[in-house]
Amino acid sequence: MFKKILIANRGEIALRIIRTCKEMGIKTAALCPKPGEEQNFLETTLANEYYFLDREGSQGYLDQRRLIEIAKKAKIDAIHPGYGFLAENWRFAKTCRKNNIIFIGPHFNTLRRLEDKIEAKRFAQKVGIPVLPGSGGSIKTKGDLFKWVMRIRPPFVLKARRGGGGIGIRAINGQISFGEIFSTSLGIKRQMSMAFSDTDFFLEKYLPEAKHIEFQILGDGERFLHLGERECTIQRRFQKLLEEAPSTFLAPKKREELGNLAVKLARELRYQGAGTIEFLMDPDQNFYFMEINPRIQVEHPVTEAITGIDLVEQQIRLAQGERIKFSQADVSFSGWAIEARINAEDPQKNFQPLPGKISKYLPPGGQGIFLHTFLHEGQEIEPYFDSLLAKLISVGKTREEAISKLKRALDEFLIDGVPTTIPFFKVLLQNKDFLEGNFTTDFVERSGILKDLKPQVPKNEAAKVEEKLEEKEIAEIIFHIYQSLKKPEEISSEREFSSNWVMSERLKMYED
């Protein structure tokens, strides 16, 4: 049994790991970028001890040498990378092994294989999982790009060969010149260079009107099983916004088929740990392999909610060398769970992330509502990190009940100081197509749902606007009273005066 674990991450996932460790009787060590910033990193309060990375923003969480130094100083047994940062970095996993530190995740050789999305597709094909047509290798030259554009034809996507999180993906739809496609490819390479220090990309057929379905897997090197699916179809810019389990789309036989193939692929890889196998599906339920995420996923709570299995606990036990203590037949599913990602983003500005300071915070509660967050009043939302503020999870006996609970929780949820995705979810949960399960990965862009949103005004700005509007409205009223006394016949009794609400609705608070 591990005695102490270093959590090489921050925010809600750091707190999530700390909670499971406490329940297992394992001590934890947390991280903080620099002295004086502890109030913005709640994990420093909840962990048994914490250490400074002595680097600005996210840089320290990527500094492998510094992390190993801290691990040795803290005398920890293992490092949990969470998601993002170094969670899928095989070199870091190998470095941990060289320093006699357990990396809580798959073996570094598995990570090295799966880092390469083209190699991962080959593994999928080997076990009989269909893949979308593509270039089959990296596109190195302008001539290579032209050849594959002519062969595959739009619609297709240009994708980073290594990386993830929706970064380094561009869809090419309709009639577009090769010059524009080439320019897009250069833009992707610049983005990839900054995000992954790698510029290899490939071309793959784009599947319109797709559903995004993923299966949670567990493996101990000998036993392999799945914990059902999650539907992740509601997205923006190829990044997930809402996840639910089970899926409204999968027929029972197709669910069984996909689950069996996921387990088969895990067995082929001799997989150890928790992971996710992702698929795209067309309207006829034809499915295609997308990728494998060899780590804990942001959306793991929905699986935990309907199975009762703590995935972080399973990660830790598997990393300790324990075997999975239950079989596929022991896995049962109960109810429906939905997760809404509450991000510090303005949906009306193409979900642009915006930093700020939380001036007021009131979390929702009640039966069937779970909240994973690090927020508190006074929290600084910094531009260095991912925009995720909280994961709001609702659980009900049926999808309708889970949606009803989520609606109520969103109405209770108060976050002032930064724009959030809360208004987006309120509108989404009223949308007929969403309620009926009639949506695909391009739903947000194609449905026009964003037009139903109202501008978000931070409270401190709203107070200033309100004060100005009151003065203006008083002046306007006085002017009209004077005019009515002077020329009553010229003034309509039904004239509409501007209200504070109408005026404020026209404000564009976050224009570029």
Question: Which of the residues are catalytic?
Answer: 295
- Using the Cα atoms of residue 308, residue 311, residue 315 and residue 318 in order, give the sign of their dihedral: positive
Phi-psi region of 71 (alpha: psi -120 to 50; beta: other; left: phi over 0): alpha
Rounded distance between C-alpha atoms, residue 79 and residue 102, angstroms: 6
Rounded distance between C-alpha atoms, residue 386 and residue 239, angstroms: 12
Counts for the chain of helices (H) and strands (E), in that order? 17, 22
Rounded distance between C-alpha atoms, residue 8 and residue 32, angstroms: 10
CA distances 334 to 21, 305, 308, 434, Å, are: 25, 8, 9, 22
Rounded distance between C-alpha atoms, residue 8 and residue 67, angstroms: 7
* CA nearest to 333, candidates 250, 219, 232, 439: 250
Q: How many CB atoms lie within 10 A of CB 408?
A: 15
Rounded distance between C-alpha atoms, residue 296 and residue 293, angstroms: 8
Tokens standing for residue 297: 């996923």
Torsion of Cα atoms, 260 then 265 then 270 then 274, to 10°: -80
Could you say which DSSP state residue 364 is in? -
- Mind spelling out the 3-state secondary structure of 393-420? EEEECCHHHHHHHHHHHHHHCEEECCCC
Residue type, 497: F
Rounded distance between C-alpha atoms, residue 268 and residue 507, angstroms: 56
Residue type, 379: Q
Q: Are 157 and 164 in contact (CB under 8 A)?
A: no
| Reduced DSSP (H G I as helix, E B as strand, rest coil) percent helix, strand, coil of the chain, to 5 | 40, 25, 35
Q: Interior CA angle at 53 toward 48 and 58, to 5°? A: 110
* CA nearest to 395, candidates 188, 185, 214, 243: 243
Tokens standing for residue 274: 């928790």
Q: Are 273 and 319 in contact (CB under 8 A)?
A: yes
Q: Are 425 and 351 in contact (CB under 8 A)?
A: no
Pairing verdict, β 27-32 and 49-52: parallel
Rounded distance between C-alpha atoms, residue 437 and residue 418, angstroms: 31
Q: Are 370 and 404 in contact (CB under 8 A)?
A: no
Interaxial angle between packed helices 311-319 and 300-307, expressed in degrees from 0 to 180 and rounded to the nearest 10 = 100
